[in-house]
Structure 1
Amino acid sequence: MERILNYTISAADEGMIVLDFLRKQGFSRHILTAMKADREALSLNGQKAGGRTVLSCGDHFRVRLLETVPADGILPTPLNIPVLYEDEDILVVNKPADMPVHPSLGNYTNTLANGVAAYLETKGESCPFRCINRLDRDTSGALILAKNALSAAILSVQMRNRQISRTYLAVVEGIPRQSGTISAPISRAADSVIERRIDFENGESAITHYQLLEVKNNHSLLEIHLETGRTHQIRVHMGYIGHPLPADYLYNPVYGTFKRQPLHSLQLKFCHPITGTPMCLMAPVPEDMSNAF
């Protein structure tokens, strides 16, 4: 796949060299290095350009971004993965519950990566699997995939700078306060490669905000906003305050109403990596959670 980007140079960028302009647009050092192999990568007003070429107001600057990352060998497998939004740069999907994101031991063809590969194949497209916000196997909801290296680089910076707003719905046991903020650092449990725990001495900062929405049968529906994005953050934090998610095989394997941890990535708000347009995408609430209330 290739991505053609066209820019009209503004007065604000008058006199800037091409390399500095590209860095300003979010091109990483890795992308710029990979572009050196493509002699047709840069053109200015229809003529070849180089990294030191000086830009003038009104110039038409064209960039060709070729896929340089080799195929990751993921086997395309048709799966039911609803698409919430798609364009040349991003693909936002509604990940079903009980679906791993990446292939692993015992999960070779049943993952989100397999399903996305099959979906793109039907469109005659192919690109490495670039996941921006990861979700646990049993967590459903909105998830962003980057379709080229530039969108991946820009979205990764947004995620690192906490510029991607994530809203979750969760069902927990018991009835917490009407609202609250949990600030408790999280680290990997010493005897597990998967499990996380609260660790005030060695853990990484983790902050979760929640709002109580509804109560039924001694279970509470919460709206949750993440300020940080640690592995298992919501699951660990809610257990820490005494209101764990039911049916959480790792932290609270109590099954009844739910067969999986009732956690759903409801909404993602971010700026489009290429156009800068504000985006707000929502994933419909799954039946197991909506039926419980």
Structure 2
Amino acid sequence: MKSIRLQWVIDNAATGKLLRDYLREEKQISRKALADIKFNGGQITVNGKEENVRYTLRLGDVIEVIFPKEKVSRSIKPYKIKLHIIFEDEHVIIINKPPHLPTIPTRNEGEPSLAGAILAYYIENGIPSTFHAVSRLDRDTSGLVMVAKHRYMHDLCVKLQKSYEIKRSYVALVEGILSDDYNTIDLPISRKTTSIIEREVNEFGKSAITHYEVLKRYSGATLLQLTLETGRTHQIRVHMSAIGHPLLGDTLYGGDVRYIDRQALHSHQLSFFHPINKREYTFHCPIPDDIEDAMSKF
């Protein structure tokens, strides 16, 4: 397997800086990552020659960082299934996850997961990495999932997540007719004391804010587009149930199961500014057939 390599050319703004400061401040490589490069088989070169991080940068210097090969988690079993890849480069892969597939392995040892499918794909294609989820979806939620292909990209994406620079929107088919075309649900969410899985609106919970827009009203159901200001577990499902409009098929939060065999929730758009190639991306994926079929029943 080839190693992950990144290369930069020093401009006027970085001239005179220490290599260490440039990598930490400009390229946001953590102290821990620099130590890992030094002691675990990575390399930092300037103009093709290995240099100490106290090297003083000069205009036109070519910096190359070779990251050490990553250890694959023993808890993830590779499982070869066909992946619907929306986008891929050296640093990130965007997948359209089908419903009924958990993002990470469950306690059921033989059950496939998206993480296992990604590992199998990496092994087949000689990609020296383990699974780094940037975003996750519940087992029965479908749509766009973002996965970093190495630790450095994952670190950068975590920072983007914290500053809300990775934007996702969802479509959901919910019970009943919502009267407002647009609205915001601002209700705190916490874990339900009687369950390790279920969440609930609770005044002592963490802040949770969901914005929705009505896309279409049916006789007995409403198609919504939703965006999140916060990322609480089951946030959309809990919020919609709390206002009396649970997602169709959502058995955990009171949804009607006559029309679809899972919660009718799909991550259909993802936007982010790529922290390495400095380009803005927006990805879309259409509403899946089972939600379309549920819509047709109203």
Q: Same fold (TM over 0.5)?
A: yes
Deviation at 1:40, TM superposition (A): 5.9
Write out aligned runs for 1:1-293 (5 A).
1-23=2-24, 24-37=26-39, 41-106=43-108, 108-176=110-178, 177-200=180-203, 202-291=204-293, 292-293=295-296
Q: What residue identity is the alignment partner of 2:6?
A: L
Deviation at 1:257, TM superposition (A): 1.1
The runs of at least 4 consecutive aligned structure 1 residues that moved more than 4 Å come to: none
Aligned counterparts of 2:266 and 2:166: Cα–Cα separation in 1: 16
Q: Secondary structure at the match of 2:253?
A: coil
Q: What residue identity is the alignment partner of 2:99?
A: A
Deviation at 1:253, TM superposition (A): 4.5
Q: What residue identity is the alignment partner of 1:17?
A: L
Aligned counterparts of 2:45 and 2:124: Cα–Cα separation in 1: 32
Q: 1:29-88 deviations in whole A, cap 9, x for unaligned?
A: 321121121576111112221111111221111111122444435222222320011111
* Number of residue equivalences: 292
Deviation at 1:126, TM superposition (A): 4.2
Q: Secondary structure at the match of 1:213?
A: strand
Q: What residue identity is the alignment partner of 1:6?
A: Q
Q: Secondary structure at the match of 1:269?
A: strand
Contact 2:247 2:255 in 1 (8 A): no
Contact 1:40 1:48 in 2 (8 A): no
Q: What is the RMSD computed on CA atoms of the aligned residues?
A: 1.6
Q: 1:97-132 deviations in whole A, cap 9, x for unaligned?
A: 011111121253321112112222221334211111
Contact 1:67 1:149 in 2 (8 A): no
Aligned counterparts of 2:254 and 2:69: Cα–Cα separation in 1: 43
Question: Relative to structure 1, is the Cα distance of residues 75 and 69 closer, same or farther in structure 2, using a 3 angstrom cutoff?
Answer: closer
Contact 2:75 2:105 in 1 (8 A): no
Aligned counterparts of 2:42 and 2:250: Cα–Cα separation in 1: 52
Q: Secondary structure at the match of 2:67?
A: strand
Contact 2:103 2:137 in 1 (8 A): yes
Q: 168-177 vs 270-279, which deviates more? A: 270-279
Contact 1:75 1:109 in 2 (8 A): no
TM-score (norm 2): 0.93
Aligned counterparts of 1:198 and 1:169: Cα–Cα separation in 2: 21
Q: Secondary structure at the match of 1:244?
A: coil
Q: 18-27 vs 144-153, which deviates more? A: 18-27
Q: 236-245 vs 121-130, which deviates more? A: 121-130
Aligned counterparts of 2:72 and 2:81: Cα–Cα separation in 1: 23
